[in-house]
Structures are given as structure tokens and as C-alpha cells.
Amino acid sequence: MSSPILLLEEVFRTEGLPEFTFVPAPNYNEILLDIRRPGKPVILEGQSGTGKTSCVRRIIAELQDQAATEYLTARNPVHISRIEKIVHEQIAGRFVVDDFHRLSQQLQEQIADVAKLAAEVRDQGDVPKLIIIGINQVGASLIQLVPDIAKRVGIHRILPGRRQEIAELIKSGCERLNIRIMNADAIFDETQGDYWLTQQICQSICSAANVTQTVEERTDVTYDIGDIRRRVVERLRAAYYPAVKDFCRGRRFRPSNDPYFKLLREVGQQESSIVDLNEMANAHPEVRGSINNIKERRLEILIESKPNVALHFYYNADTKSFAIEDPALFYFIKHLDWNQLRQDCGFREHGEDFEFDVALSFAGENRALAAYIAAALLSLDVTVFFDALFEANYLGRAWSAQFTEVFGRKSRFVVCILDIRHSEKIWPTFEREVFAPRIANASVIPIFLDDTKFVGIPRDIVGIHFKFDPTDPDWKKKVDEEIIYKLIDKLSE
């Protein structure tokens, strides 16, 4: 009896649960036991592409216990409302909560409380059976929310497939299609055990060889991995390139404002699609400034302000964890033409990587003016060193050492608010001594509030002359028109 004719996309599936090419994770049975146990909360964590959701669906299908299972994801606003209802009313049933890490901190805490209750009374009555799915460390995060549930919760981390699991996946698909992919072992070297990517690569190999369904006669299929890689990347371009460009250009585009571009390019060179930005900044000094000047607030604001970016990128500002959760997007980014992307974004090349676009130097009497300038520039996606914003960062350190770094080399421009007080005060004088040598390369922009003369600052230097009157109800509007717009024009050069 001949084998049934199967379509290529049914065999090597890139969407949904693989029917013919599913391979269980090494800890599949341990996960099954915990999912099967009534009431016991279960947490599955791991990077995207490891098959967490597919594993859960396969186990539940295998149980055949007739119990209804409701699948919910934090990416769907309707599902979030349903999760809130389940938590508040403690509805009995089996619930899979995917993308747990994307839920609000408050809702995560509420889920943790329900998980604790379910863990305590699971043998005493109907309680919600929670199966929580998220990226790395979601289990540890949940335990931190409710520490005493650690021993009552099944926490499992699904790792990428090993060479033998990937070989079994490919073999199963080839048998269904009646083919043999030559040099199949090289596919693991390309995918590093990513289940989704393995499915996609195999599908592309077959498609390039005109195998679109089960063939009648056994066929050997050869391929060139470079060609297959280009095919996959080109296939993904329409779906991902706009979002990648939006991310790289930042919240407000300027040709010199490229820290997001540098961050994403560096992420694309990592083995994992989930990175700790503190660790990355420390390990890669060439992009340390770019990462440091966006990881506190700007990156979070960018993702929140652009829906297309929020759909594809995740960032936790508290833990500094940045994630590309879609394995297809991560593969696309790893193999991008970054020079072409830089051109398409409209960036100009510049050699140095500054931690700040602007460092503000001012006397304390002009703090209100400096604070407004800092806030206005920050709202326009400009990185600003304003001392009040960084006091916590420098606790225990000497200001003199930090100011020497900031005003000497860590800032692209120094904007100094000059008046008689700046000339008389100790700290502003120290800052002036640090940034004075930079006047020669036009990286100091003075704002003159009066006619005070300063040693080392030429009288004919082109600056901004501004009359600051804090009693004027329109002073902020005047700052925008006479200072902020000029600074933005200069930063855009």
C-alpha cells in the first residue's frame, strides 16, 4: 500500500503544532507528569523557537482526559481581560498563559498568588490549573513574587534540540516526503537546535529542489546553505524589515542618532535572542555608550511608542532584559545586510560611540533652566547628562572623576550655560577646565546669559545668547524657540 500524499507545508510546519515532525524535548515526560497533576502550577521557560507551546499542546492532546483547555496569550488584549477574570474569580479549569513575561507586574503578582493557592489546595477541590509559558527566568521571577511556592510548582526549562533530536525531526519529515536530504547534519550547524528554524530550513531546501509534496520515487535532495539562507531571509523581509527600520531609527529620527541600530546589530551577533543589556555593555566597549544611553528609559519609551516595534521586541527596564521572541525575526536579524540597512535608515557614519549626545554644565542658580532643557531634549530622543538624573548611578563615586569622563569624552557635545555664577562656582569652574580643550573641535555650545568673560572661551565663539527671566510666563516657549530648536538642528548635522 502506497504512502499518503502529504504537502510540504504539512510535513515541515512553520506554523502551529507539527503533526509529522514533532520531536519531544529531553525532559518531555517530566513536563507531562506535572501537567497531568490536577491543580499543580507548571512553568515552562526558554528562548523562542524551543517549542514550549508545541510541547504543551502535544502533551494535552496525548492526555486525552477530555478536560477543556483554554489557551491565552499576553499579546491579545481580549485574552488579558480573560486572564484578569480568571485570577479575580479563581475560575476552575485548565489554562495555558503564554507570554507571561509581557503581562503587567501587577497581573503577574496576582497570577503568582493564584498559583500559590492552587499549589496548596490542589487535592482539596476545584482550583485553576495554570500552565505558564515565558522566556528565560520567568520561573525564577515568579518565585521571587511568591517565594514559598518554589517546591510546589513544576518549573521546566526547554532547551534547543540536541543534534540527535534535530536529526530525528529531519528524518521523520524526509520519510513522509519520500526523500533524503543530503548532508542533513549541516542543518543543525545552521539552526543550532532551533526547532522552528529547522522546519523553515528544511521547507526551503525542499522548495528549492521542487519538492512540494510526497514524491513517488525516492529522491536525493542537495542544497547550498548560503543559497537557502538568502531564500529564507528574503522570504522574511516583507514581514520584518519595516519593524527593524522603525526600531533602528528610534523614536525621533536624526541622522546621527543610531544607538538603537548599534544595539540591534550587536544582538544579531549573539547566540541567544535574549540578552542582558548590562552584561552586553560591559562585554562590548565599542557599543557600551550606545547601550548605556538608551537602556534606562529611552528603549522602553521607543517600544511603547511604536506598535510595530512593540509587536516584535520586548524589553524589561527593571532587569535590563532585551528579547527578540520570534525566532524567524532573530534569524532575519542575524543575516541582515547591515550596511544596506544603515543606508536605508538614513544614518551617517561617525567614528566615536558617545554615551551622551549632550552634557549640561550650569551653576545651581540656573538649575530650572537646565532641567527644562534636559527634559525637552529627552522628549526628542536626545541623550542628556543632567546631574540630577544620574545621582543614583554614581553613588559612592567621586563626582570629579565622573565629570572628567562625562565632559571630557563621553558626550558628543557640551552645552554650557554661562553667566557670572558659572565663573564663580567651584564645580562649574572644574567642568569648564575639563571641556575647554574641546572648544577647538567645535564640540562645546555655549549659552550666554550675560556678558561675563571666561578664560579659555574665545569672545568670538558662536553661541546662543539668551535672556533668562524665570518670572516670564512664556520663558519655556522662548527656550524652545531660541535654544532647543537650534540644538536639535546642530545634533542633526
Per-residue pLDDT reduced to its tens digit, 164-175: 999 999 999 999
Beta-bridge partner residues of 384: 358
169/148 same-domain check: no
Domain that holds residue 295: 257-345
Residue 136's pLDDT is 66
Q: What is the mean pLDDT of residues 453-481?
A: 90
Q: What is the pLDDT of residues 344-376, one digit of tens each?
A: 999 876 656 688 889 999 998 999 999 999 999
Which of 126, 157, 188 is a domain's end point?
A: 157
Identify whether the C-beta of residue 36 lies closer than 8 Å to the C-beta of residue 43.
no
Identify whether 245 is part of a domain.
no
Distances (CA, A) of 192 to 69, 188, 291, 322, 352: 32, 5, 27, 21, 34
Whether the predicted pLDDT of 395 surpasses 50: no
Looking at per-residue pLDDT, the higher value among 46 and 319 belongs to 319
SS3 letters across 107-137: HHHHHHHHHHHHHHHCCCCCCEEEEEEECCC
Q: What is the pLDDT of residues 264-309, one digit of tens each?
A: 999 999 988 889 999 998 898 888 878 887 888 889 999 989 999 9
Write the DSSP symbol of residue 147.
G
Which of 157, 177, 206 is a domain's end point?
A: 157
148/178 same-domain check: no
Nearest C-alpha neighbor of 369 from the set 294, 421, 408, 304: 421
149/169 same-domain check: no
Residue 1's pLDDT is 45
Q: What is the mean pLDDT of residues 180-203?
A: 93
Q: Does the pTM of the predicted model rise above 0.75?
A: no
Residue 353's pLDDT is 67
Are β-strands 321-323 and 274-276 bridged in parallel, bridged antiparallel, or unpaired?
antiparallel
Identify whether 263 is part of a domain.
yes
Nearest C-alpha neighbor of 256 from the set 74, 491, 445: 491
Indicate which CATH number applies to the domain containing 98.
3.40.50.300
Which of 102, 125, 157 is a domain's end point?
A: 157
474/425 Cα distance (integer angstroms): 28
Q: What is the mean pLDDT of residues 178-195?
A: 92
The backbone torsions φ and ψ at residue 192, rounded to the nearest 5 degrees and listed phi first, read 55, 35
Residue 37's pLDDT is 87
365/480 same-domain check: yes
Indicate which CATH number applies to the domain containing 409.
3.40.50.10140
Identify whether 1 is part of a domain.
no
Q: What is the mean pLDDT of residues 27-31?
A: 91
Identify whether 290 is part of a domain.
yes
Name the domain count of the chain. Answer: 4
125/183 same-domain check: no
Instruction: Please report, as a single letter, which amino acid is at residue 120.
Output: E
